[in-house]
Structure 1
Amino acid sequence: MNTKDTLRTFEEVAGYYIAELDNYSPEKFRRKPSAEEWSLSQLYNHLIMAAFHMQIKAIEECELGRSVSDGEKTEAGAAVFAAGAFPPIKIKVPTRPGYTPDYSTDKQEIKGRMLQVIDEMRNVERRLASIPADRKIEHPAFGCLNAVEWFQLVPMHFTHHLRQKEALEAL
C-alpha cells in the first residue's frame, strides 16, 4: 500500500471515530467497565496520544536523522506488517501515569484533537518520500521501523482498537 492509500485508510477510520462521538452521552463516554479497563474517553485519548507522542514523533525522529540504521523488525513486527494489521488480541499496557490515558476529556476536545491528528498525518504524508528508508526508530514490540512503517502503524492501531470500542459501546 502506498502512503496516499495509507492516508486515505487512516482518514476513513479516524472519521468513523469522530462521527461515533455523537452517539455517546457524557456519562457513557467516561464510564469505565472496571478499574482495569478503559472508558471510551480513555480509548480515544490513547489513540491520540500514541499517534502524536509515539508514531508521528518516531517519523519526525527519522526525518531529523536521529535514528538507527542497522536494526530490523522483530518476528512480531514482521508478522504485523505481513498481515497489514495488529493481531486480534488484547494488549495490556502498564497501569501507571503516562500509560493510562486521561478519561476526563470532553467529546468536543477529543474531536478537535482527532482532527489535529488527521491534519498532522496529511502533513507527514507529504514529507515521507524525502525520508531515507534506512533511517529507523525502534518500536518496543515490533523492532526497528522506518518512517513509512511508522506511518502505516497509525491506521493499523486505530483499526486494532475498533473491537475494544464496540465492546465498550455494548455496556
Structure 2
Amino acid sequence: MTGIDCLLYLHQELDRYTEDQIHHISQPGVWSLGQMYDHILLVAHEYMDEVELCASLSTDTTDGKTPFGEELFRQNAFPPIKIKLPDEMNAPPDNTDSRDRLRQRLLELIERMEDGSKRLGHINPQRKTRHGGFGWLNAKEWYQLIEMHTRHHFRQKKELEHVLLS
C-alpha cells in the first residue's frame, strides 16, 4: 500500500461516519477521528515540505539514520505501540473540520504527493534533512515516511471506531 493508497482509503472511510462521530471525543486525552485525520494531514504536509527541502539543497551529506530510524525503515513500519510526544509537541489536533473539508484536504494532499512523486527519482539521495528521532533522511525516505506514519494510525482508527460503535 502506498502513501497515496492509504490516503485514498481514509478518504473513502469518511463516508462511514456522521459529523457527530467525526468530532466525538470519548474521554479526555483521546482524540476524535477528526483530530486523527487532521494530525495525519499535518504530518504528511510536514514530510512533503522536507521532500521539497531535500530537492532544494546543494550540498550532500553522508550522515545517516539513528539506530531507531534504521530499524523503522528496515521494518517499513512504526512499532505497534502508542507513541507519546513531548508535551511541547503534543498540542491536540484541530477538531473543527467537517467531513467535506477533511475530504478536500485529503485530495489536496494526494495531488501534492502525486506531483512530488514524479520528482523523487531526480533528487540526489545524498541531499538529506534531519528528523529529530530517525536521523538524516533523503527525499524518498521522507516520502516513504508518509505511508508508514499514516498506516501507523490505522490501529488508532479501529480503536476510535470501536468506541463509537459500542
The question of a shared fold, defined as TM-score above 0.5 by the shorter chain, is answered with yes
1:95 and 1:169 map into 2 onto residues whose CA distance is 26
Matched position secondary structure for 2:30:
coil
Change (3 A) 1:98 1:89: closer
CA distance change for structure 1 residues 51 and 106 in 2, over 3 Å: closer, same or farther?
same
Instruction: From the superposition, tell whether residues 122 and 20 of structure 1 become closer, same or farther in structure 2 (CA, over 3 Å).
Output: same
CA contact (8 A) 1:67 1:137 kept: no
Return the offset for 1:71: 2.0
Q: Deviations over 1:42-89 (max 9, x none)?
A: 00000100011x200101110110777132101110001101111111
8 Å contact 1:55–1:154 — kept in the other structure?
yes
Deviation (angstroms), 1:11:
2.4
Q: Tell me, which stretches of 5 or more residues in structure 2 are unaligned?
A: none
After superposition, where does 1:5-24 map in structure 2 within 5 Å? 9-24=2-17
Q: Indicate conservation of the 8 Å contact 1:69/1:134, yes or no.
A: yes
- Aligned pair count reads 163
Equivalence for 2:42: 49
Give the unaligned 5+ runs of structure 1.
Answer: 1-7
Equivalence map 1:57-136=2 (5 Å): 57-65=49-57, 69-95=61-87, 99-136=91-128
- Offset, 1:25: 1.0
State, as a whole percentage, how many aligned pairs show the same letter.
Answer: 36
Relative to 1, partners in 2 of residues 1:67 and 1:61: Cα closer, same or farther, differing over 3 Å?
A: farther
Structure 1 residues 9, 97: CA separation in 2 closer, same or farther (over 3 Å shift)? closer
Mapped to 1, the partners of 2:31 and 2:85 lie a distance apart of 11
Normalising by structure 1, what TM-score?
Answer: 0.89
CA distance in 1, matches of 2:148, 2:81: 13
SS in 2 for 1:170: helix
Extract structure 1 runs of 4+ deviating beyond 2 A.
93-100
Name the counterpart of 1:161: 153
Q: CA RMSD in A?
A: 1.7
TM-score with structure 2 length normalisation?
Answer: 0.92
Deviations for 1:127-164, whole angstroms, at most 9, x for unmatched residues? 11111111111111111100000010011111100000
